[in-house]
Chains A and B, each alone.
Chain A
Amino acid sequence: MAAVSYDTVAVLHNFAERRGIHFPLLSDPDSKVIRELGILNETIPKDNPFFGVPYPGTFVLNDQGVITAKYFEDDFRERYTSADILTRQFGLGTGPRTEVEGKQLKLEAGSSNLVVAAGQRVSLTLDIEMKPNMHVYAPGVEGYIPIDWKMKESAAGDAHEVSYPASEKLHLVAIDETVPVYQGHFRLTRDVTIAQDAKLRPALDSSGKFTVEGTLRYQACDDRVCYVPQELALKWTFQYAEFDRMRVPVELRRK
């Protein structure tokens, strides 16, 4: 892993020491690499001290250096967290996990991050384990109730669309129908972009924590019976971290 900016080596050295960063922070002070990649933010006037910054984003490369994924945001105040990318790319998450027991399934609600800052884009995950011989219906099914993960409106952040895995086609012999379903273990993922500071602050409790909530609705069936539709309450708790606003000594700052 490496991170690239237009800062000088001296600025990066100061920052890395202060934050205890040991992976390479690469210095591109003339924005040469940033320009070559076509990610220079050209909307900033050339006489502005911020001229030379890239659009913030992340490239994921394979061992041959080929780009396999990239994550860029329009709003410079919003950023995918590294943990979000690791969760999406490799299924890893660092946040706590909460078990929820349903009638025909159990699930673990997890997140990519426990500690978050304003504008960060983080992943929420639902690892769902169906009980033996049970299935739920995937989105797009006709005539049945598909699994549906909703999020409550919240001042703390905006939820993005759910990423559903590919479904299986199940043939129901009794009624001679083939339907898209999930069985066994499967994972649903969705991102939440944490609100900006002023909007988020009223949602914090006295210890600086906040929650986002949602529901999972589903109807489970086995090969004989479809059961009463269920709705499970979901909740994720995050610790809010304010931005590090400390700057390098004046003599090192960009003029």
Chain B
Amino acid sequence: MGTIYRLTVTLFLLVCYSLQGRDYGPPVGAKMAGFELPDQAGKLHTLATILGSKGAIILFYRSADW
């Protein structure tokens, strides 16, 4: 049952992605929106605390438990 459910969801998502464009989120040149989020230890981070002297890379991903 679990396998069938996962396969159904996967097929659904495959259809979904095929309908989408590739340019998501704010454009290049825009300032990243501010945020305040906890990390894996519960410590709060903001855009300012993530940014280093050379900037930052911020990655968005589906889930750590998939």
Chain A interface (Cβ < 8 Å from any Cβ of B): 1-7, 9, 11-16, 21, 24-28, 33-34, 36-39, 41, 43-44, 48, 50, 53-70, 72-76, 79, 82, 85, 247-248, 252-254
Which chain A residues lie closer than 8 Å to B42 at the CB level?
9
**Contact flags (1/0) for B38-66 with A, using CB distance below 8 Å?**
11111101011011111111111111111
B45–A5 CB distance below 8 A: no
Q: A44, A70, A247: which has the most chain B beta carbons within 10 Å?
A: A70
A16–B24 CB distance below 8 A: no
A26–B45 CB distance below 8 A: yes
Report the bound CA distance from A17 to B50 in whole Å.
21
Report the bound CA distance from A33 to B59 in whole Å.
13
B41–A13 CB distance below 8 A: yes
Q: A25-B40, A50-B9 given as contacts; is B31 within 8 A of A65 (CB)?
A: yes
B60–A68 CB distance below 8 A: no
5 A-B residue pairs with Cβ-Cβ distance under 8 Å, sorted by A, are A1-B56, A6-B63, A60-B55, A62-B55, A252-B65
Report the bound CA distance from A25 to B26 in whole Å.
21
Report the bound CA distance from A60 to B29 in whole Å.
11
